[in-house]
Amino acid sequence: MKKYTLIFASAAVGFLASCGGNSETAQESTPTETTAPESTETTSGEEGIAELTIESNDDMKYNLKTLEVKAGDQVILTLINKGTMPKEAMGHNLTILKQGIDLEEYAMAASKAKDNGYQVKGREGDVIAHTKILGPGESETITFNAPEVGTYKFLCTFPAHYGLMQGDFIVK
């Protein structure tokens, strides 16, 4: 008997929700016109924590062009390399640069620093956070504090990848 009551209750809730959610439903059915991938949604419900996941692949691309967090957030960022090509040929990382650091210039310098995980030795201060270079099927989660409000650049520093593999890390 209790079971039936529960089923009825949840059905009623579902009915109410579908009645009350008209505007939401309308929004969902409207096709989005943006061709670029949406920014990732923050999956953590916890206040002050931004949990983000971004993927890389053998096409030398990230699946997102924008990552967005709030100022003061603790950022838990995961890079998953979905590719299958060997790390030596198609490794990827995610590197977030401080403002004012020239992306192309940093990428060129980093591409020569294979023995340092493609990060420039002595220029750690130019980087907010970065993962290591990931091979096929690998992932890494890095945790750091969101910098002040602004738009920052992220890129892959594997040689010749930054042209296609870059995006905006936005702190609101």
Residues that bind Cu ion (CB under 5 A): 92, 156, 158, 161, 165
DSSP state of 65: S
Torsion angles phi and psi, residue 66, rounded to 5: -140, 135
Q: How far is the CB of 107 from Cu ion (least distance, A)?
A: 10
C-alpha span between 24 and 11 (Å, rounded): 19
Please give the helix or strand (H or E) that residue 48 lies within, else none: none
Closest residue to Cu ion in the complex (CB):
156
Return the number of the residue (92 or 130) whose C-beta is nearest Cu ion.
92
Q: How far is the CB of 56 from Cu ion (least distance, A)?
A: 6
C-alpha span between 172 and 147 (Å, rounded): 10
Q: How far is the CB of 143 from Cu ion (least distance, A)?
A: 21
Q: How far is the CB of 67 from Cu ion (least distance, A)?
A: 16
Please give the helix or strand (H or E) that residue 103 lies within, else none: helix 103-111
C-alpha span between 110 and 172 (Å, rounded): 28
Return the number of the residue (42 or 56) whose C-beta is nearest Cu ion.
56
- β-sheet bridge partners, residue 150: 171
Residue type, 51: E
Inter-CA distances, 131 with 32, 51, 88, 91, 171, Å: 32, 15, 16, 11, 19
Q: How far is the CB of 45 from Cu ion (least distance, A)?
A: 31
C-alpha span between 140 and 134 (Å, rounded): 8
Return the number of the residue (158 or 169) whose C-beta is nearest Cu ion.
158
Return the number of the residue (70 or 132) whose C-beta is nearest Cu ion.
132
Return the number of the residue (152 or 158) whose C-beta is nearest Cu ion.
158
